Amino acid sequence: MSAVARMALLHLRTVAPYRTQGLLVFGLMVLVLARSPVGLVPALALLLAPLIAVHPFVVADKAGLETLYAVLPLPRRTVLLGHYAWALASFIATVTAGTALAVLLARAEGVQLGGRTLVTMLTLSWTLFAVNIAIQFPLLIRFGYARISVLGTTMPLALVMLAVYRLHLTIASIHTWLPLLWVAGAAAIVTSAALATHAPRPRA
């Protein structure tokens, strides 16, 4: 197992005591969006997956885990990339569970949810999540959650939602942009990680 993967596993153990709250939020969102199976997964990717991804920052600030990270026999770059690995794992887990539920809900409600729609739905989900995280993480890594909590969580969400509104992004409107959106999301994450790993250490 690589050092980055071990950091992601450490984040999993860090947030494990809070899994009940996460499952409750997940269940609530499913109940609210149950009548819109197609919109369920993008909504989870936009609202829930980033919350899970940033939770290690919340716990680290409360429990002083930055001190632990500093004494680990790992380069700072590896620690920071572990944050991004955890974020990607959060996205995959959330979207996998959401897609399974969306398929079940669609069948129960008699809604057509073919392969093309699923791919488009996942593409939109990836793009929304990637842009959100690409903005959030450098801010959180640079300033810490305690300093940037409100701005770091609401600003990226507001910017992404504004972009969705202004560009009129829907499942139907992005069929022809699927490869570009996957590449754009990946590029956003890679660029964000590069910026974060070269950023100064958090201010005391």
DSSP letters, 104-128, are HHHHHHT----HHHHHHHHHHHHHH
Mean predicted confidence (pLDDT) in 86-109: 92
pLDDT of residue 140: 84
Token output for 30: 């499913």
pLDDT of residue 80: 85
Do residues 9 and 78 touch, judged by C-beta distance below 8 A?
A: no
Between 12 and 159, the higher pLDDT residue:
12
pLDDT of residue 63: 67
pLDDT of residue 154: 67
Q: Residue 157 — pLDDT band, cuts 50, 70, 90?
A: low
Residue 199 has pLDDT above 90, yes or no: no
Between 161 and 88, the higher pLDDT residue:
88
C-alpha span between 66 and 145 (Å, rounded): 11
Token output for 142: 């640079």
Residue 183 has pLDDT above 60, yes or no: yes
Do residues 126 and 91 touch, judged by C-beta distance below 8 A?
A: yes
* Nearest residue to 98 (alpha-carbon basis) of 51, 149, 45: 45
pLDDT of residue 155: 65
Residue 170 has pLDDT above 80, yes or no: no
C-alpha span between 192 and 194 (Å, rounded): 5
Least confident range of 27-36, 91-100, 159-168 = 159-168
Three-state DSSP state, 189 = helix
pLDDT of residue 47: 86
Average pLDDT score, the chain: 82
C-alpha span between 50 and 94 (Å, rounded): 10
Token output for 112: 């057509």
pLDDT of residue 202: 56
Q: How many CB atoms lie within 10 A of CB 31?
A: 9
pLDDT of residue 89: 94
